[in-house]
Structure 1
Amino acid sequence: MNDTTTNINQATDTAAATAQHLDLLDAVTPEQVSDAIKAAGAAVTTIEQNGVVRLHSASHGVGFQVLWGNPVTTTQYTDFTLSCPLHVQGGTLPEAVLASWHRTKRFARVAQHGDLVVLEMDVVVAGGVSPAYLSFAMRLWMQMMGEFFLHLRNYGPAAETRGDAANGGAVGEAARDVPAAA
């Protein structure tokens, strides 16, 4: 073997050894998710209901919650949903508001349930993710929340066709103690 091949093999072996030493998460606990939310710059309230830990936080002055997905144990999950239920003042939003969001944005979806609009984003850790990814997912969620609130504030029939801000927001304060549809 020549020196170049030896150096490449050594570099590959070093990279493989480094990758093996990464602490990848293929399930998360409420504490790990809470730490990731805090690392993204938000406070977290932990509430235990019927033996299940619930996490509540806020971004842009509006509350959100963590809804657990598939359990591995009683305290570990392979996925979860970040959920922000909002009460719509005056009934329901026009379907075009939600359609416009889905046409222009990725990562977070919106569903309407009566007078509630729910912004949600799934986070999957199955298969292994780094703790840094978990923190990134929380920052992305908070960014999506801000973009959604801006979308609501700027939406109007004229804005849809002209691309500018037309009216001032149809959604009121975050729904409190309202379970979001999963």
Structure 2
Amino acid sequence: MNDAPINTTAINATLDDTNSVNEAQAAETPEVISSIDANGLAEAIRAAGCAVTPIERDNQIQLHSAGHGVGFQVVWGNAVEAGVYADFTLSCALRVAGGEIPSAVFQGWHRSKRFARLAAHGELIVLEMDVTLFGGITRGHLESTLRLWVMMVGEFLLYLRSAAAEGEKAPGTAVAG
């Protein structure tokens, strides 16, 4: 058995170095979120470069914003607790003036675009993109997803203009924002 004294100074220095490394790694590791409330999402929308207006309706906060001059809203998904959600849908609806949009417009979008889908709801053509926080994502990922959404809204407008110019729409129909 060795009766030599233990060098506690060296052990403490090693522990201090380990703690410093762990603290530095923690500072570099981005926060992971698996749910969000209206205030947190409004902050992320602003960080993505859009203004946002919270409106309380039926004791629930609705978020309205715009990209490329066209309004969109947040449709809340699965609640993990009151006012906190694990997913949501970004939705941009435009009214079709003078008729329905032919299915070729929807098919063309779905063939050529990713990330967001088109749907028809009566006289509305709706661009939608689901955002899920299940399993956890970083705020940076959320902000990037919101910037992608704004880009998709711009692509949506260009696509509709192009479709109208190419005659894919029935004569006499127009899309009104």
TM-score, scaled relative to structure 2: 0.79
Q: Where do 4+ consecutive residues of structure 1 move more than 6 Å?
A: none
Asked whether 1:90 is paired with 2:90, we answer no
1:103 aligns with one of 111, 133, 137: 111
Aligned sequence identity (%): 48
1:20 Cα offset (Å)? 9.1
Task: Pick from 122, 127, 138 the counterpart of residue 119 of structure 1.
Answer: 127
Residue 41 of structure 1: SS of its match in structure 2?
coil
Distance 1:19 1:93, change over 3 A: farther
Q: What's 1:48 paired with?
A: 56
Instruction: Identify the residue that residue 80 of structure 2 maps to in structure 1.
Output: 72
**Root-mean-square deviation (CA), in Å?**
2.6
Distance 2:89 2:166 in 1: 33
Match of 1:171 among 156, 168, 175: 175
Q: 2-side partners of 1:170 and 1:74: how far apart? A: 41
Aligned length: 155
Shift of 1:170: 3.2
Code of the aligned partner of 2:62: R
Residues 100-126 of structure 1, C-alpha deviations (whole Å, 9 max, x = no match): 000011110000122111100000011
What amino acid is aligned across from residue 33 of structure 1 in structure 2?
L
Larger radius of gyration, structure 1 or 2?
2
Aligned to 1:177: none
Does the 8 A contact of 1:37 with 1:44 survive in 2? yes
Contact kept in structure 2, 1:111 and 1:118, CA below 8 Å: yes
Q: Which runs of 5+ in 2 are unaligned?
A: 1-17
Determine helix, strand or coil for the equivalent of 1:155: helix
Please list, as runs of the form range in 1=range in 2, the aligned pairs for 1:132-143 lying within 5 A after superposition.
Answer: 132-143=140-151
- For structure 1, the residue ranges without an aligned partner over 5 or more in a row are 1-9, 161-166, 174-182
Counterpart CA distance in 1 for 2:123 and 2:157 is 16
TM-score (norm 1): 0.77
Q: In the alignment, which residue of structure 2 is the partner of 1:24?
A: 32
Superposed CA offset, 1:15-36 (max 9, x none): xx54994310000111111011
- AA aligned to 1:140 is L
